[in-house]
Structures are given as structure tokens and as C-alpha cells.
Amino acid sequence: MAGTTNTSLRKGRKSTYGLLSPAILWLILFFVVPMATLLKIALSTKPDPWLPNYTFAWEWGNFSDAVSRFSSELYRSFGYAAVATVLCILIGYPLAYFLAFRAGKWRSLLLGLVMVPFFTSFLIRTIAWKTILGRNGPTIWFLEHAHLTGVTDFLRLTSNGSFLGTPQAVIGGLTYNFVAFMILPIYVSLEKIDINLLDAARDLYDVPAKAFRKIILPLSLPGVFAGTLLTFIPAAGDYINANLLGNANTTMIGSQIENLFLSESNYPAAAALSFIFMAIITAGVLVYARVLGTEELSA
């Protein structure tokens, strides 16, 4: 008896691996190998910066050099991404809630409207903001004619009567570009909630606020978690918004990695910086998963 279970298990395992092999091969080829190569370069030196030769030398100094040289960009990238993610939750959650519970017959239309901007390239949309918010654009024109630039300057929305070239503009751009990635997962998790649970709460004389806190919020947390990952990770690595909407004081880590590769040909430093960036994100995600108690990741 025990013997048969054993063989069937073994058989099962074999076919499982068989089924997994394309995925495993894919991962090895396109994840493990590039990562190993990246790590090897991160630990190498480049004796002549103009020649394409690297010497593997366990050069851990590349990592500390990268951190000390680019600490402000690292803070900035994660800071901007964190603020943008929080803003995305603040904007996205109520919207997803409305879509899931209140939109009624308008639901598909409104959901479609959330998606529509994605039919245009991310870059075009960001460049469009540049025009809308630019010194010659309609917003500044309106503010100037309404003599409101003093007020917006005071509120820190503008600086020197200009929207662009500020951290606020970069964070605004990140929020705008990633908010849909927050709305959709939250919407999906809210939409799955069994309406009967809410009826039951009402039957038990619950107040709506408490029902929200005890039922809806916990059940939608996986959506918030997924949305946060989908927003925070690309936002931290993004540098298009910083380049187009920010100024020379808002550069993020992505453009520094690009500079190291293309302009300084310092591949070891670029690889080390990429690794540090990935390590911080991975650590952050694990901590976040534990705090939010999402089973799949914290288990």
C-alpha cells in the first residue's frame, strides 16, 4: 500500500516537473542567467574604461560606492514612489468602491473610461501634461489671469508661477500614470465581495462605517496590496516623469543607471546600483507583505 502511494507520488512529481519545464527553462534563460551575469559584472572591475574588458574581482566596493554616490537619488526615487502610491490609494480606493457598489448601469462605461487613457502611449500622455501645465499652457494662463499664482505658490503647487520642474509635478505625473494600476486590482477585490455579507451586517444592526472597517476593508486588502506593488515598483524605477515634468534637481535612480551604462560606460557601478535598487524593493515588498498579512507572500 505504502509502496503504491510512493510510486504514484513519484510519478506525479515527474509529470509535474515535466509540465513545469517550459516555465523553468524560461526562468533560467531570462531571469537566472541575466541576474547571475549582472551580479558578476557588479563584482567586477573595468581596468580601462574605454575597453570592453571586465575583471571579476569580488569588488564589493562597487556597492558601497554606488550607495554613497547616489544616496540622494535613491531617497528621492523611493520617496516619490511612496507618496505617489499613497495618493493612488487615496484616489483609487474611493473610485474603485464607487465602481463596485454604486455605479449601477454606468459601471462598464466608467470602467472603460478608466482604461481609455491606456490606448495612448504613456510618453505621449506625459508630454501632454507638459503642454497643459507649461508656462504657456492653459492652466498657468488661467491662474495668471485670475491672479492666483501667489496662492498656488503659497500652497506649494507651483514654484515661481510654474507647475513644471518641481517634485510635486513629478509625483503628480507618477500618480496620474499609475493610478489605474491601483484602481483595477482594488475594484476586482471589491467586486468579489458577497453582498450578502453586508446585508448580514445590517441585519445585525451594524453601522455602515463599521461594516466597511470590519468587512469590506479586510476583504479588499489583497487588492490594495496588489495595487501597491503594481504602482510602487514601476514608479520607483520610472524616470520618464522625472525627466519630462521635473528638473535637474528631481532626477531619479533610473536615469542614473542609464547614465552609468551609456555615458560613463561604468557597467560594474551600473550593475551594482541596479542590484541595490532591486534588493531594497524586494526587502520592502516582503516587509509590506508581512505587515499586511497577505498569505501568499508572507507564508
Partner 1 sequence: MSLNRHPHPRTGLPRDPELAAAVGMARDLSRRRFLQRGGIGLGAALLAPNLLTACSTPGSGDFTFSNWVSYIDEDDSGNPRGKGTTLYEFEKSTGIKINYLTDFNDNDAYFNKSFSPLLGRGKTIAADVVAPTYWMAARLRGLGWLDKIDLSNVPNHKNLEDIYLDLTWDPGAHYSMPWQAGIAGLAYNPKLTGRQLTSANDLFDPKFKGKVSMLTEMRDTVGLTMLGEGHDPNKAKPDDIHNALDKIDKAKRDNQIVHFTGNEYLQGLESQEFAVCVAWSGDVYSLDPSLGIKFVVPEEGGTQWFDTMVIPKGARRKADAEAWMNYVYNPDHATRITEWVGYIPPVKGVREALEKAGGDSAKLANNPLVFIDDETKKRLRVFGELTQKDEIDIQTRFNDITG
Closer to partner 1 by Cβ: residue 1 or 124: 124
Listing DSSP states for 108-123 in one string gives: HHHHHHHHGGGGS-HH
3-state class (DSSP) for residue 55: strand
By CB under 8 A, name the one of 102, 121, 146, 204 that touches partner 1: 121
Stretch near partner 1 under the rule CB under 8 A, chosen from 11-19, 122-130, 142-150, 173-181: 122-130
Cell of 176: 496620474
Alpha-carbon distances, residue 57 vs 12, 45, 47, 60, 116 (angstroms) = 44, 7, 11, 9, 51
Q: Pull the grid cell for residue 4.
A: 503504491
Question: Among the candidate windows 27-35, 132-140, 206-214, 285-293, which touches partner 1 by CB under 8 A?
Answer: 132-140
Is 170 or 201 the residue whose CB approaches partner 1 more closely? 170
In the region spanning residues 227 to 246, those forming contacts with partner 1, defined by CB under 8 A, are 240, 243
Identify the residue among 139, 149, 159, 294 touching partner 1 (CB under 8 A): 159
Asked if 1 interacts with partner 1 (CB under 8 A), we say no
State in angstroms the smallest separation of the CB of 158 from partner 1: 11
157 binds partner 1 (CB under 8 A): no
> Three-state SS for 104?
helix
Per CB under 8 A, does 249 bind partner 1? Answer: yes
What residues contact 87, with CB distance under 8 A and at least 6 apart?
171, 175, 179
Residue list 22-81, contact with partner 1 (CB under 8 A): 49-53, 69, 73
196 binds partner 1 (CB under 8 A): no
- SS3 assignment, position 206: coil
Residue number with CB closer to partner 1 (20 or 132): 132
Q: Given the rule CB under 8 A, which of 4-12, 168-176, 206-214, 247-255 is the region that contacts partner 1?
A: 247-255
User: Directed axis angle between helix 122-133 and helix 167-191, to 10°?
Assistant: 130
- Dihedral of alpha carbons 288, 290, 294, 299, sign: positive
* Smaller CB separation from partner 1, 182 or 260: 260
Distances (CA, A) of 152 to 137, 149, 247: 16, 5, 19
Q: What are the backbone dihedrals phi and psi of residue 56, each rounded to the nearest 5 degrees, phi first?
A: -75, 125
Is residue 134 a contact point for partner 1 (CB under 8 A)?
yes
**Which stretch in 14-22, 106-114, 127-135, 290-298 sits in contact with partner 1 by CB under 8 A?**
127-135
Check: CB of residue 281 under 8 Å from CB of residue 213. Answer: no
Q: Length of the chain, please?
A: 299
Q: Is 164 in the site for partner 1 (CB under 8 A)?
A: yes
| Angle made by CA atoms 221, 226, 231, in degrees to the nearest 5 | 120
Task: Return d(Cα 168, Cα 159) in angstroms, integer.
Answer: 10
148 binds partner 1 (CB under 8 A): no
250-269 residues near partner 1, rule: CB under 8 A? 251, 255-256, 258-259, 261-266
Sites of contact with partner 1 (CB under 8 A): 49-53, 69, 73, 121, 123-124, 127, 131, 134-137, 159-160, 162, 164-165, 240, 243, 247-249, 251, 255-256, 258-259, 261-266
